Amino acid sequence: MTKPLIACIAGFLGAGKTTALLAATRELKDRGLRVGIITNDQGDHLVDSHIAQKQGLRVREIYGGCFCCRFQEFVKNADSIVEEHRADIILAEAVGSCADLSATVYQPLRRFHSQRFDLAPLSVFADCQRVAAFFDRTDHGFTESVEYLFAKQLAEADLIVLNKCDLVDRAERMRLVSVIENRVGIGPVHLMSARQGWSVSSWIDLLLATKRTGTRVAEMNYAVYAEAEASLGWLNATVNWTSPSLFSPNDLGTALIRHVQQKCVKSNASIAHLKLIIATHDGSGWLAVADCHSQPTWTDLGRTAEVREASGIINARVSIAPSALEGIIRSAITCSSRELGIQWSVQDLQAFAPSPPKPIYHFHGTEKDSSYEELR
């Protein structure tokens, strides 16, 4: 590679982007490439960053807004990864409510920073069950503005990755591909299961070999976009647990997730994503769910011994007001801790709705001489 490659990974909350990012990193390292990571969220205390750091990856974090709203910070972080670690490729995972990345990130990178970076295809992830819920018009519990946001994310993709394909049969996969192509007019769709490692290598082949990138700019109604983000309560929290007796961090985490799911059902609130990482002196592990009913599966922590102390980070994105979400999480922490006879203390908790997106640049097309606005 003559220049470092930036590969943005986008897609709605719960699509499996972080799992895909970690699988991609392993594959790229096996090919002898140096990898850097940029993570993104509306708040701090991000589970994704801690997961990547625990695996020894070079991570930079962008808080308090999407890549588009923090574009100069994005470029600064990319530069520092290259300068400090000589990264060949930077995997940049956008926050799951972010859209319009082609117009606000890819086009500005190509116009202003093409001497320093090359661009891989903009990969937009969608999980099979979410595609079925949104495009089949089932009662998914999210607003119409969220449906709009989901479709617009797909419409700007250079490459749509239909993830979690291990959860549906072949006939359903083929049906969903047809649904996507009919709805957003983009093909082909790459089928993958990041968790199972299926088709990750061929996705990486596409990232490294495809030269035409940033090929689509989707027309975006920013008022509806802002409404979609604001319809979700966001919460990040850090928690400590202690007990005079040994307890299982696995049992604790599973109980905590279960209580959050049950309380969301009672509140008629849909989970967009819910992530938890628990760390002990013996190791750490994480789990995530993207609905109110799925059984969470631990990564790594299943082998961790019982302990008397643990700490955790919770990230929740739910279709409910932030104050109500805070009540659900605090109650779930209390109930799960009491079940196991554990003392707990919430160290930090942020519950909020994101501010309206305010990109720095907005390009109107993909041509080299496309007009653009500098909004801030």
Same domain, 159 and 290: no
10-residue stretch averages of pLDDT, the chain, 376 residues long: 92 94 95 94 75 79 91 96 94 95 96 95 96 88 95 96 96 96 86 95 96 91 96 96 95 96 97 94 88 85 77 95 98 98 96 93 87 84
Sign of the dihedral through C-alpha 255, 97, 15, 10:
negative
- Strand partners of residue 127: 163
Q: Are strands 271-280 and 307-318 parallel, antiparallel or unpaired?
A: antiparallel
Indicate whether 215 and 285 sit together in one domain.
no
Co-location of 142 and 259 in the same domain: no
Letter for the amino acid at 234?
W
Strands 233-247 and 307-318: antiparallel
Q: Which two tokens stand for residue 45?
A: 């205390």
Q: Do 66 and 212 fall into the same domain?
A: yes
Same domain (yes/no): 40, 130? yes
pLDDT at 304: 63
Same domain, 187 and 60: yes
Which three-class secondary structure state does DSSP give residue 5?
strand
| Angstrom distances, CA of residue 24 to CA of 48, 102, 184, 196 | 14, 21, 26, 12
| 195 and 307 together in one domain | no
pLDDT given at position 363: 94
Looking at the DSSP bridge assignments, the partners of residue 362 are 373
Q: Bridge-partner residues for 279, per DSSP?
A: 284, 311
User: Could you tell me if 208 and 261 lie in one domain?
Assistant: no
Per the structure, how many domains does the chain have?
2
List the CATH number of the domain containing 259: 3.30.70
Q: Give residue 94's Cα distance to chain centre.
A: 6
Same domain, 257 and 299: yes
CATH code, domain carrying 169: 3.40.50.300
Residue 139 makes CB contacts below 8 A (sequence gap 6+) with: none
Bridge partner residues of 89 (DSSP) = 5, 35
User: Within this chain, do residues 277 and 369 fall inside the same structural domain, yes or no?
Assistant: no
DSSP annotation of 231 reads: T
Separation of alpha carbons 299 and 137, rounded Å: 32
Q: Are residues 211 and 244 in the same domain?
A: no
- How confident is the model at residue 83, as a pLDDT? 93
Q: What is the pTM of this model?
A: 0.93
For the packed helices 128-135 and 170-184, what is the interaxial angle rounded to 10 degrees? 50
pLDDT number for residue 46: 72
| Alpha carbon distances (Å) from 329 to 74, 238, 267, 332 | 31, 11, 12, 5
What pLDDT score was predicted for residue 303? 52
Strand, helix or coil for residue 24: helix
What is the pLDDT, as a whole number, of residue 301? 52
Helix (H) or strand (E) holding 317: strand 307-318
Q: How far apart are CA 216 and CA 126, in angstroms?
A: 18
Based on the domain organization, do 220 and 248 belong to the same domain?
no
Would you state the pLDDT for residue 349?
A: 96
What is the domain range of residue 322? 233-352
Nearest to 351 by CA among 39, 42, 12, 48: 42
